[in-house]
Structure 1
């Protein structure tokens, strides 16, 4: 059993790697070199990356690619994507090309408000709390004025502040439910700063409120934190065309539309399918969110919660056919920023936003939603025609060849071979053995 190491954070990067190599990687003589290979030779850039987080040993690279030809609201975009998964960028690009010839993607932001909450416990007379809240609300807003001043100049700030009784869910539990507009900033730090100021003032004012008894004055603040569930920060993306334009793989447009709609109905009805269906949407969304320096974990959490908003996990996207017209759409919550945070610190994130023509946060919401819808269309299209493995595994071929340590010459031969043969790990392994023998 390994002994705990005191003061690990105070060690230099080299000392951390040395300890790690001796303690957990003693049987891997290459580990130290691998970690050091990924250091950036530019010392300033390496230091910048190290300061993003703590106890940094190296950099973990992801491919930074581009999906071109996205026609969104009649404007052409090339969308940067950071992803390690084979076929994501190819699929998105193929879908973008398909819909670019059919009017492109239409996207609309339906709301941009975000939520934060002060969670607190109050054991006194419940009837007194609403009066206290009305009494203290002007003071609460006054105390955050220095924090909201600059945000209000940009058209944002605190939109609403209300008291919510949650005692039916948990005894003595109440909250200050706060609505914010953060404009082009994702706004997490702004929201959390306001909430903590609300909490401090709320507790202090309760302690001197004359209508509270001595015990009622002691309100317990449990926590003050933004919510990553943003059902009022919504974007809608849609594509549509005449059914006859959907003819695909020797399948008529009518048959394609019917199968596509049926596949979506299954995802709406069956949670086991819906999770994988929505994961396909997130393949496109996460890749753009990550490339632009936004918080993909927050986006994931909020979107999957939204998929359960009606009490059952279901598909985020929907399709129908009416009067000979095929429609495919989704509405999703997206809390994104184009200023502040990593968007302004990471050099590649800045490049990504420049590629996207320096969008506002609402414009980025539209772009990300279109990327997610494109990814979903490509996946469902494959599922109802050739099957998911044919295209996906061909894109995965190079990963398999690298796992099998194929040489450049072997890769060239096998790529040609698998242009006309189905790809699987065992099939690639077999052909490589034949080639080598």
Structure 2
């Protein structure tokens, strides 16, 4: 058994790799070579990447691709996506082309309200605390003026501070529930700085409040932190067309396509086992754009999946209807995104992604991300109710299988040509490759 390492963060990158190689890689020179081959030759760029996080030993690359032909609110965009999964970009691009000839995507930001909370323990009469809070609230807003000054110039700031009694769930537990508008910034640091100032004021002012007993003055701050659940930071994206324009399948007319599609969506609305996979497909599109634009996909995932459960049961994030011979398909999701701050001004590919998207505002990016999720979901459901999901997915996965088997360029060309007319499976690709090599 090895001893815990001391001062690891102070090791140089070479020292970290040597320590790793000695203890966990059996001094495998090839493993060390793999780590180093992903270092950037530009030392300044590599240092930038090293400083994004802690204890960096290499870079982990994801493919950076483009899904073209997205007509969104009348503007034609190519959407950058960072994702390793086969067929995601292809499916999104196919859906974009399909809807581009049917009026494109419409997207609207419904609200941009974000949330943060001060969680605290108070042992005393809640009515007295309500009176205290009513007097304190204007002073709380004044106390954060140095923090909010620049944000207010851009039209954002603190929107509201509410006192919430949560003692029914946890003894003596209360919170300041605060709403913010952070404009084009994701706003995590801004929100947390405001919350910590609120917490400091809350404790200090309670000590001087005459109506409190000694015990009531002793407020315990548990934590001050933003929430990634932002059910009022909402964006809606939708597509629609007449039924007679809906199907591009020779086997199904528009009405038949719509019937199957609506039933598939309804299953995702009522059956959580299906809903999770259904929504995962949506997140294929959402996360890929969130990553490419330097935003926090983990926060987005947590918030969106919580939103999918907001009515007490996990359900589909997309919905569909047919009214007056018009098919409509839409998504409504919470998205707390930023186009300034964080990696947006540091990571070269993030800056490029935002340039490709024509330097969007945070609201513009919300629309684009929601559209990407809707397009991805349409492509997936369309495949499921027509050809099946595996036909397209496995053809896109074919190159991964060939690379795993270290196929030569000539072998790849022959195998790809063979599977243009044959069903792809892992075993069938291996069999065909072995036959080719025996010849």
**Aligning the two structures, in what range does the TM-score lie when normalised by the shorter sequence?**
over 0.9
Separation of aligned partners in 2, 1:246 and 1:346 = 41
The alpha carbon displacement at 1:247 in A equals 2.1
Paired residues of 1:236 and 1:332 also in contact (CA < 8 A): yes
2 CA distance for matches of 1:429 and 1:130?
71
Instruction: State the shift of 1:2 in Å.
Output: 2.0
Within 5 Å, give how 1:126-165 maps onto structure 2.
126-165=126-165
How far, CA to CA, are the matches of 1:100 and 1:22 in structure 2? 56
Q: What corresponds to 2:264 in structure 1?
A: 263
Matched, 1:381 2:382: yes
Partner Cα separation in structure 1 for residue 73 and residue 204 of structure 2: 50
Worse-superposed segment, 149-158 or 18-27: 18-27
- Show the counterpart of 1:104: 104
- CA shift, 1:343, in A, is 1.1
Question: Does the CA contact (< 8 Å) of 1:292 and 1:353 recur in 2?
Answer: yes
Distance in 2, matches of 1:414 and 1:22, equals 41
Match of 2:335 in 1: 334
Q: In 2, Cα distance between the equivalents of 1:55 and 1:422?
A: 45
- Report how far residue 42 of structure 1 moved: 0.3
CA distance in 2, matches of 1:422, 1:136: 69
Aligned to 2:364: 363
Structure 1 Cα separation of the partners of residues 109 and 125 of structure 2 = 42
How much has 1:262 moved relative to structure 2? 0.3
What does residue range 76-95 of structure 1 map to in structure 2 within 5 Å? 76-95=76-95
Query: Which runs of no fewer than 5 residues in structure 1 stay unpaired?
Result: none
3-state SS of the aligned residue for 1:23? helix
- Cα shift at 1:249: 2.6
Residues 407-416 or 332-341, more deviating? 407-416
Please report how far the alpha carbon of residue 302 of structure 1 lies from its aligned counterpart in structure 2 after TM superposition. Answer: 0.4
Note if 1:171 corresponds to 2:147: no
4+ residue runs over 6 A deviation = none
- Aligned match of 1:63: 63
1:7-46 to structure 2, matched below 5 A, reads 7-26=7-26, 28-46=28-46
Shift of 1:27: 6.4
SS of the counterpart of 2:104? Answer: coil
In the TM superposition, residue 124 of structure 1 has moved relative to its aligned partner by 1.1
1:417 counterpart residue number: 418
Per-residue deviation at 1:370?
0.5
TM-score, normalised to structure 1, is 0.99
* Deviation at residue 246 of structure 1 after TM alignment: 1.8
CA–CA distance in structure 2, aligned partners of residues 123 and 169 of structure 1: 15
CA RMSD of aligned residues (A): 0.7
- Deviation of residue 404 (structure 1)? 1.2
Equivalent runs, 1:306-321 vs 2, <5 Å: 306-321=307-322
Instruction: Structure 2 unaligned segments of length 5 or more: list them.
Output: none
8 Å CA contact 1:188, 1:226 repeated in 2: yes
1:335-385 Cα distance to aligned partner (Å, 9 max, x none):
000000111111100000000000110011001101110000000000000
- Name the structure 2 match of 1:245: 245
Structure 2-normalised TM-score? 0.99
Separation (CA, whole Å) in 2 of partners of 1:240 and 1:208: 60
TM-superposed deviation, 1:142: 1.0
Q: SS at 1:222's partner residue? A: strand
Q: Distance in 2 between matches of 1:52 and 1:201?
A: 33
CA contact (8 A) 1:248 1:256 kept: no
SS in 1 for 2:126: coil
What is residue 183 of structure 1 aligned with on the other side?
Answer: 183
The superposition leaves residues 62-108 of structure 1 with CA deviations (integer Å, 9 ceiling, x where unpaired) of: 00000011000011000000000000100000000000000000000
- Counterpart of 2:328 in 1: which secondary structure? strand
Q: Secondary structure at the match of 1:215?
A: helix
